[in-house]
Structure 1
Amino acid sequence: MAGTTLYTYNPIQPNQIRLVKFVQDGDHIRAVFETFSFEEPLPVYRSISYTWASDGGRPQKDFKMEIDKRQLPVLNTLQPFFQALRSRNMLLDGKWWWIDSICIDQANLEERAHQVGHMDVIYRQAESVIVWLGEPSSDSELAIDFIKLLDKTSRRKLSVAELRATLQQDHYRVHWKALTNFLSRRWWSRIWSVQEFVLAPSVTFWCGMRNVSRVAVCRSIGIADKCTSTGVKETLAFTHGNNRRRAWDLYKASKKPGANLSFSLLALAAYFCCMDASDDRDRLYGLMALATDRSMLEIDYLLSTEEVYARFTRSFITHYKSLDIICFASTYTPPSGSIRPSWVPDWQKRNPVVIPSMTSQSSKSHVGNLRSPRHLDIDPSVYYSACKNKEAVYAFEGSALQVRGVVVDTIDGLAGSRQFEMVQSSEWNSAQSSCCSGSPCSTTAILESVCRSVAFDRFDRFLRYPMPTADFFRDFIRLLNRIITTSKESVPRDLLDWFQWTRSLQIHGRSFEDILHDSFQADDDSSGPAPNIDESQHKTFFGRFFDTVVRLSFRLM
């Protein structure tokens, strides 16, 4: 390589972009930079979405390219991508490229902030985006072939039963494993790759010399969502892929004429908090190109992570006159010893244990969700808003948040969960017994109330329709009757787990288990046909139970 002097970037203006073109190949790659203005038409260019480091490693720059007879260190993960370009005769085809680690002076925090602010334009205007998943593995070809098969299958419009009858056979077990491995590649867990996946008009996945379209990948994830016994849905890899699919569906719908859909930064941060980020500030910054309310937060890499999170929370409260964001602080909690205020959500929370919140429904667009576009239209009569149209009353005093609230009710008892064990202490029992002096409810009324609570008193997962009380309660009682008697083997494991954590729940001074025993001794109707225990059937009691209690990761349903 000519010379050993390291390349020094020439500064660019906030309204400019730096593109790269590869002009010579051989023992090394020679390239040229050119600067263009966002205020003028940009040349045709491609972009790449990739990871800066290999699995479990840190970014390394062990090879260099030549620019202006000087050396520019380049990430190791790009080297096999350049080889793939060579093999496809695309390296020297004269096209411009935008590659973040090359085209942004990463050492210049001001330039970095400006370029991050342009990410939406950069990816929306790219001719195409190539998702580079890396070199092939032992089952990557099988995964891509299976994705293409699922894509073709999805276009046949088969019923769920027909899909399962075919695709859940033992023959396909290795195929589902290959798909899981495909979705487990590091790119899928990278926070920056979310907006790169969603915004680009054309996306193709490359794995070695094989490729597959974004459409095919999303359709395969959609079928995996319906094939519940394959083991794919229980993986974090599926969550990474499925949330991307949902975000892309919503983004496409938002671009249709007359559409009035929004992407709140709050919802995006909550959905994608389990992603990887080498800089925790990017858990917000890395999603802002998607957010329709991104003006609330200025990109500033001179601020600490704590300052960025606190500034976002303050801005949300001030902008929307709403305290909904602090509901997330009870779930997205900082680690022990953190100096962050308790009212500020910590978006570094990995794999959060979450409970669906009414504040996340579509009636509050400033909170938002990734709900399927076909489920966004809701009858205003079922909107949930505890404060109606009242604005929050609040004041900031240094790091403290002062608010005005009301006492709603008194807690009668506590139940635990798989993640949080609750023990009814003697102090608690004596305290709650003194506040439950009202007229006692009947056993049936208590159990019906529990059933309604578990299902959120809603018929569907998007909470649009009231729960059919008689049907759901009948299934609820029949399933619990099996637990109390000797038929536990016919009860889904998830419902058994829930009962173990709920049996000691105190209701009017009695445990939930005692109330159940009293109910069955009173010969309540617990007979009849077997309840539907297919969790994919959302409009059943067990389907609703599975959504609200088991599928906790979908906080913003």
Structure 2
Amino acid sequence: MAVHKHLDPDRREIRLVRLQQPCAPSILSLELRTVSMDEEEASYSALSYVWGNSSEPQKIEINSQPFHVTQNLHDALQQLERNGVSSWIWIDAICIEQSDLEEKTHQVGMMRDIFSNAAMVYVWLGPGTEETDQAMDLIFKYGPRLHASGALEMPSNNGEIISLRNGVMGRLDPAWQAKHGALGMGPATKLAATAVDLFTEYHENDKVLIPGLSDILHRSYWCRIWIIQEVALAREAAVMVGGRRVSLDAFEAAVVTMWHGGNVDALRLELTLHRIKALQVRRLRRGRREPLLRRVLWETGAAPGRPFYAASDPRDLLIGLLGVLDEEEKHGMKSDYTQSFGKTFTQATRAMLESSGGPYFNIDSVKPGKLEGELPTWVPDFREIGLSGVRPYPINYGEKYFSAARGKSQPQRDVSPGFREGSALHRRGCIVDEVTEVLQWLRPAPRPTRIKEPERWANSVVDFVGLGPESGPGEDYVWRTVLHGFAGLFQFCWKMYNDGKMHDVPQMLRKVMRKDPLDVECLSKEALTVLRHEGMWDGKALNSVEPVKAEERELLADELRGTVYFSVSRDSRTLFKSRKGMFGLGHIGIAPGDVVTLVWGVGSPIVLRPRAEGGYYFKGDSYVDGIMQGEFLKTQPREQELIIH
């Protein structure tokens, strides 16, 4: 007899289970029933967990019928039984007939209601160890106090974080207080008073607590895409690791305080390990804000020692987020397991491009795909991004330095036939030029060094451009392009360039790249700052930079040359020339015959490859010297439709 009976979608029926006395002591036994979410005041909890390895299924009984679950779910059920949980529970692997795609699609579409209406969500992280037990005990001891002291209400801006850290460290270390001044009386310093005991105990027992906390935060649960909505929608939630349990709010309060409130180096854990997508989205919703799809999927930060997000079925990378997106952000997307993951990724990318809210994501953000791959060339592979983040960085990353075609805008809504369902992207723009030569990419030597490899690459640039033995200001455009307008070096370099205050920085860079003699005694403070790699992001070291000693000169020049080289090689970029004499930097893989285009509303020029059957393949963003701030638009180029496949 089948365990699952048909669910009536019109009545919004779901299945629930609860633990009962087993017929045999060694076998877990569950009772299953069907309820309507519309017609019954169903009181239930929900289980949030990772399915885990399915190679060794464990036998249980449901309504006296045999049923198999994964080891991790079996462990969770055993722990719930030990904890005396007797409530009805919604568990996806049991309550959804997984082989019925129609039912699965409908039930997945109800998960927003299922988790937001659950009286309790049990967050199962897996079995415990001696180390995780002690880490959970620490969180249980201090988490509720930190929560009550406002840890989750504290703004996450740098000023509040610095205030909290100074408050904690000033109480732990008098020398810190003497250096950073009075502790203050704001919300952050009040929280700091509560946090001091936590840090004191952590450092007294760090040999056990460090591996315990690291184990908990590295667990695969945190990167499962489905837990984002399960955690974010929960009214009340309890984190369970083995036999230890603590409220989710207390857990989050402790983790946030530990990373923001003390010396992060002293934690001896990854700097970004506390960044958990599910908790970030929960924080947004706590502030009555809905998350944006691109803010969840388009991850540009440093990987936290685990994937940002993942799913065994790639379609779930979108479907698993629909429950926390508002209708406007969905752009009509629905859970649909009958379509390919390629179509799902295409819909997600199109929705991100359509979504309002600034230039955080645009077509120039995307790494070009394979011409004959599973995805259109303009659609990112979210499996890769979920694993390690966006790489390489776009030319226009971060500050949005360039406005090659931002002065023009796309039509409000593309009305081309099949726009929503097709795989092609229709954009208005213009052709700028045709690529004629591309610098052959020099593969790194088997054992590259920080000195020889950059020299070898710099020499290949000199040969490609045809520079003579004597360097001069006339070649500054070359190194400016290599550094995409100096934005590829340090943020404050681009600001100086944009403000016309570069002084002798271009000359210094040219000499470094060409290995010309460098008179360090005559360098400006701006050039010294760049040479020393100080004030890399904001230039705050300009007024305190020390002169370069003669014996430091070659070492610093080698390091700066290496920084430039590794910036280009890390981002898989190469140089190209065009028919009209333009000079640019694009993705490895561009070729003669490709065309440089401007796409309206996009900050960087886009390289496209003409298709024999019409339209173009996407070959990525580029830096083209002399047209990055809208100069080409002044020539009044002919507008046309660019169809990208």
TM-score range, shorter chain: 0.5 to 0.7
Q: State the 1:218 CA deviation.
A: 1.8
The 1-side partners of 2:524 and 2:538 are apart by 26
2:524 equivalent to 1:524: yes
The 2-side partners of 1:362 and 1:520 are apart by 31
The 1-side partners of 2:488 and 2:73 are apart by 52
- Residue pair 1:22, 1:29 contacting (<8 A) in 2 also: no
C-alpha offsets along residues 97-132 of structure 1, whole Å, 9 cap, x if unaligned? 111111111111111111111111111111110111
Specify the alignment match of 1:341 in structure 2: 376
Specify the alignment match of 2:246 in structure 1: 212
More displaced, 108-117 or 220-229? 220-229
Q: State the 1:10 CA deviation.
A: 2.2
Matches within 5 A, 1:123-162: 123-148=115-140, 151=143, 152=145, 155=149, 158-160=164-166, 162=168
Q: TM-score scaled to structure 2, two decimals? A: 0.58
Specify the alignment match of 2:321 in structure 1: 287
Specify the alignment match of 1:113 in structure 2: 105
More displaced, 153-162 or 107-116? 153-162
The 1-side partners of 2:397 and 2:31 are apart by 48
Q: State the 1:9 CA deviation.
A: 2.8
- Residue pair 2:96, 2:104 contacting (<8 A) in 1 also: yes
Larger radius of gyration: 2
Q: Any unmatched runs of 5+ in structure 2?
A: 152-162, 174-198, 543-566, 571-645
- Residue pair 1:21, 1:33 contacting (<8 A) in 2 also: yes
Q: TM-score scaled to structure 1, two decimals? A: 0.66
Name the SS of the counterpart of 1:101 in structure 2: helix
Specify the alignment match of 1:231 in structure 2: 268
Letter in 2 for 1:231: R
Letter in 1 for 2:216: F
Matches within 5 A, 1:236-251: 238=273, 241-251=275-285
Check 1:216–1:357 CA distance in 2 against 1; reply closer, same or farther (3 A cut): farther
Specify the alignment match of 1:76 in structure 2: 71
Q: State the 1:63 CA deviation.
A: 1.0
More displaced, 16-25 or 349-358? 349-358
Name the SS of the counterpart of 1:22 in structure 2: strand
- Residue pair 1:104, 1:115 contacting (<8 A) in 2 also: yes
More displaced, 396-405 or 192-201? 396-405
2:427 equivalent to 1:403: yes
- Residue pair 2:76, 2:126 contacting (<8 A) in 1 also: yes
Q: Any unmatched runs of 5+ in structure 1?
A: 256-260, 364-381, 460-465, 478-505, 543-548, 553-557
Check 1:10–1:513 CA distance in 2 against 1; reply closer, same or farther (3 A cut): same
Matches within 5 A, 1:126-525: 126-148=118-140, 151=143, 152=145, 155=149, 158-160=164-166, 162-163=168-169, 172-226=206-260, 227-229=263-265, 230-234=267-271, 238=273, 241-253=275-287, 255=288, 261-271=289-299, 274-292=308-326, 293-317=329-353, 324-330=361-367, 333=369, 338-349=373-384, 350-354=387-391, 387-388=406-407, 390-391=409-410, 399-405=423-429, 423-424=457-458, 426=460, 430-431=464-465, 454=489, 456=491, 510=510, 512-513=512-513, 518=518, 520-525=520-525
Letter in 2 for 1:193: I
The 2-side partners of 1:516 and 1:139 are apart by 57
Check 1:389–1:160 CA distance in 2 against 1; reply closer, same or farther (3 A cut): farther
2:7 equivalent to 1:7: no
The 2-side partners of 1:135 and 1:209 are apart by 8
The 2-side partners of 1:347 and 1:315 are apart by 14
The 2-side partners of 1:158 and 1:509 are apart by 40
Q: CA RMSD in A?
A: 5.3
- Residue pair 2:333, 2:347 contacting (<8 A) in 1 also: yes
Q: State the 1:44 CA deviation.
A: 1.6
The 2-side partners of 1:432 and 1:216 are apart by 64
- Residue pair 1:63, 1:73 contacting (<8 A) in 2 also: yes
The 1-side partners of 2:350 and 2:104 are apart by 24
- Residue pair 2:276, 2:308 contacting (<8 A) in 1 also: no
- Residue pair 1:19, 1:96 contacting (<8 A) in 2 also: no
Candidates 6, 13, 16, aligned match of 1:20 = 16
Letter in 2 for 1:390: S
Once the two structures are aligned, what percentage of the paired residues are identical?
A: 20
The 2-side partners of 1:161 and 1:415 are apart by 51
Candidates 92, 101, 110, aligned match of 1:100 = 92
Letter in 2 for 1:47: A
